[in-house]
Amino acid sequence: MNQHPHIDPEDHPELEHTDFDRLTAKGVSRRSFLLGSAGAMGLFLAANPLTQAVAAVTRPMSSPLLGFKAVPASTADTFVVPEGYVAKPLIAWGDPILKGAPAFDESGTQNANAQAGQFGDNTDGMSFFPLTEDRALLAVNNEYTNYEYLFAHQGKQALNADEVQKSQAAHGVSIFEIRRNAQGEWQVASASDHNRRITAYTPMELTGPAAGHSLMRTAHDPEGKYPLGTFNNCANGQTPWGTYLTCEENFHKYFAAPEDAPDVELPARDKRYGLKSGNRDFQWYRHDERFDLSKHPNEPHRFGWVVEIDPMDPTSTPKKRTALGRFKHENAALTIDPSGHVVVYLGDDERGEHLYKFVSKGLYNADDQKANRDLLEDGTLYVARFSAKDGETKGLGEWIELTHGKNGLTAENGFADQAEVLIFAREAATRVEATTMDRPEWVAVHPNNKAVFCTLTNNKNRGQDGQPVGGPNPRAKNNYGQIVRWWPHEGSHVDNRFSWDLFAVAGNPTTAKGLYAGSDNINAENMFNSPDGLGFDDAGRLWIQTDGKYSNAGEYAGMGNNQMLCADPESGEIRRFATGPVACEITGLAFSPDQRTVFIGVQHPGEDLAPSHFPAGGTSKPRSTIMMVQRKDGGIIGS
């Protein structure tokens, strides 16, 4: 294996910079952070007066950034916002967005053509693109779809060809215009010429080092440059030159071998992505041969990328940016480094996978946005390695370059060229001894451009499978998750050194003590599990969305349904802002430029046939929905 010495803080006094010390002191204090040994996992009864007293004493001071009254945990089938706020559905799965598309019909019998003109399912990451003061485009990911609601037969039958195409059309991206009315509310303009559906069969172009590589060529695309479609689009990014980034996550679930074909023996580097013959739940292989693993083993290499879309031109061809690496992408947190390089932070959401950074070769030109259009085509990918003294949840880190010919990424070690390094980025990260992480989800860069945050959602496998307990992943069997924060050395995102700590460690202070009670900024009133969505508003409030267990029982007692919280990065205070309906995930957020509207995604209410009728109520079918949230007094959200 490649031998990079791990950074020892005592050898690098220059890295102990003041920002680090100042912010660390106010962030996570260590509530018995004696590390994730089994001894720290003991459960306490909820009624234990000692743990309740601890929770009360350690509640953080009130923050000047957070101006709303916290909402309690909820198990109700509704979307709750603080006093003085209103939340209304903006759009739900199946609402028409293209001209001539039919209205939603909850029978589950509408065909593929209808779905292809409607808002896709499972709303996820989204970005707001202003057109004028009162008109804008929303670009929204439709991550996947729930067959129990998509089809009248609930997915219990073999899909026919139209049903496969309907499923493919429920995936992808929806781009639609919204307009602000006289009351200040945003509404969908369902017949706007801007509106567009991008699905699992929209023509795309591969760009960058892996485009055209032999591993990308298929029977349908012998050049290896023109894949069809994008799917399992999880979270997102937005560039200052006006494009949308959509990130392909769990692409492996869509490729399978037919039941009557022999199992496909895939190379280990393909299996690392979860590809296997038996992933038949989505059934696309039945009527779209591209997804038949026994016939087209290269097709999966064309997914797992970040895709750049020009939302302003509905005829533009989306571009898959292979320079950013192939893995199960969560979001793409883009910032402009003081040097002018574009830097994109990227999480790979799988237990024990990694955190990445892309640095563009070219420089951003604020005076010529057209010149920036292909900055993501060429650059350098890095992967993070964290270090810490034993027992500490802060330390130093470095970014290791994933460039062919360097750091052991050579032909003799199995990487023929840079394309192979990128297509099998996970294997390259292992080769350079990157830190295995507790499922990196969203990354968010503070508006001061000096600190970066990433949700590590949970990891039941921590402590086994070669995933050592320690550093930013301090708990074995981590069911709650944490938020790691790092400061690029001297504010430079292109520098390969950083310092880090844990901003929050989720836990349950009413049922556990020690590490599993969470950090000191977690208390009985704000507790949650599995932080996932993450984003800053212009004032530097950190918004946290959850995709966790909603049983509200056992170790999750008191946490209720999935939710959205707001944190002050300076004081560390975290306050619950919203709660979602039954069996949903809260994911996706976009602020209007005036910060007086926030759009929040409610994904898969009622999944697995849980009893939800959100948003329409009554006996209606539950539908993934984007909520529009405003203050009754028109004020700034969160203040």
User: 438 with 473: CB under 8 angstroms?
Assistant: yes
Buried b (16+ CB within 10 A) or exposed e, 30-45: bbebebbeeebbeebe
Contacts of ligand FEO in 133-152 (CB under 6 A): 143
Contact with ligand FEO (CB under 6 A) among 148, 288, 292, 330: 330
Q: Which helix (H) or strand (E) element contains residue 165?
A: helix 161-170
Q: Is the distance from CB of 454 to CB of 347 less than 8 angstroms?
A: yes
- Residue 163 interacting entry, from ligand FEO, Ca ion, none, C-beta within 5 to 8 Å by type: none
> What does the DSSP assignment read for 455-486?
EE--BTTTTSTT---BTTB--SSBSS-EEEEE
The entry of Ca ion, ligand FEO, none that residue 585 binds, CB within 5 to 8 Å by partner kind: Ca ion
- Binders of ligand FEO among 172-211, rule CB under 6 A? none
Q: Please say whether the beta carbons of 423 and 326 come within 8 A.
A: yes
Give the one residue of 307, 585, 600, 621 binding Ca ion; rule: CB under 5 A. 585
- Pick 249 or 520: Cβ nearer ligand FEO: 249
- Partners of 454 in the beta sheet? 443, 484
Residue written as tokens 């830190």?
A: 435
Please report whether residue 349 would count as binding ligand FEO according to CB under 6 A: yes
Note the Cα 279 to chain centre separation in Å.
22
CA distance 532 to 483: 9
Please tell me whether residue 333 binds ligand FEO under the rule CB under 6 A: no
Q: Which residue, 288 or 441, is less far from ligand FEO as judged by CB? A: 441
Q: 563 vs 592, which CB is nearer to ligand FEO? A: 563
Residue 238 vs 457, nearer CB to Ca ion: 457
| Choice between 438 and 547, CB closer to Ca ion | 547
Answer whether 324's CB lies under 8 Å from 306's CB: yes
With binding defined as CB under 6 A, does residue 348 bind ligand FEO? no
The residue among 601 and 615 lying less far from ligand FEO, judged by its C-beta, is: 601
Residue 126's nearest CA partner among 598, 636, 618 is: 598
Tell me if residue 322 falls in helix, strand or coil.
helix
Site membership for ligand FEO, residue 249 (CB under 6 A): yes
- Helix runs in 124-160, H state only: 147-150
Q: Which two tokens stand for residue 58?
A: 């350690």
Our finding on whether 248 is near ligand FEO (CB under 6 A) is: no
Distance CA 580, CA 321 (A): 34
For ligand FEO, which is the closer residue by CB, 44 or 144? 144
Q: How far is the CB of 383 from ligand FEO (least distance, A)?
A: 18
Q: Is 270 in the site for ligand FEO (CB under 6 A)?
A: no
Return the number of the residue (274 or 414) whose C-beta is nearest ligand FEO: 274
H or E segment to which residue 566 belongs: strand 563-567
Q: Minimum distance from CB of 457 to Ca ion (Å)? A: 5
State the binding string over 148-187 for Ca ion (x if CB under 5 A, else -).
----------------------------------------
Q: Which residue has the tokens 């994730």?
A: 36
The binding track of 386-425 with respect to Ca ion, each residue x by CB under 5 A or -, is ----------------------------------------
Between 178 and 333, name the residue whose CB sits nearer to ligand FEO.
333
User: Which one of residues 501, 547, 568, 573 is an interface residue with Ca ion (CB under 5 A)?
Assistant: 547
CB of 102 to Ca ion, least distance (A): 27
- Give Cα 477 distance to the centre of its chain: 21
Tell which positions 205-244 bind ligand FEO, by CB under 6 A: 234
Strand-strand pairing, 497-505 and 482-488:
antiparallel
CA 511 – CA 43 distance, rounded (Å): 6
Considering beta carbons, is residue 234 or 423 the nearer one to ligand FEO? 234
Q: Which is nearer to Ca ion, 349 or 398 (CB)?
A: 349
| Partner interacting with residue 249 (select from ligand FEO, Ca ion, none; CB below 5-8 Å by kind) | ligand FEO
Cα(232)–Cα(304) distance, rounded to whole angstroms? 9
Q: DSSP class of residue 52?
A: H
Residue 177 interacts with, from ligand FEO, Ca ion, none (CB under 5-8 Å by kind)? none
Residues 18-47 that bind Ca ion (CB under 5 A): none
**438 near Ca ion (CB under 5 A):** no
Pairing of strands 306-309, 319-321: antiparallel
Radius of gyration (C-alpha) of the chain in whole angstroms: 23
- Nearest CB to ligand FEO, comparing residues 143 and 427: 143
Q: Is 573 in the site for Ca ion (CB under 5 A)?
A: no
Indicate if the alpha-carbon torsion angle 445, 446, 449, 450 is positive or negative: negative
Mark the segment that binds Ca ion (CB under 5 A) among 2-10, 250-258, 544-552, 609-617: 544-552
Alpha carbon 83 to chain centroid, angstroms: 29
Asked whether position 121 contacts ligand FEO by CB under 6 A, the answer is: no
Nearest approach, Cβ of 479 to Ca ion (angstroms)? 13
What tokens does 592 get? 């209007």
The residue ranges that bind ligand FEO (CB under 6 A) are 143, 234, 249, 330, 349, 441
The residue ranges that bind Ca ion (CB under 5 A) are 441, 457, 532, 547, 585
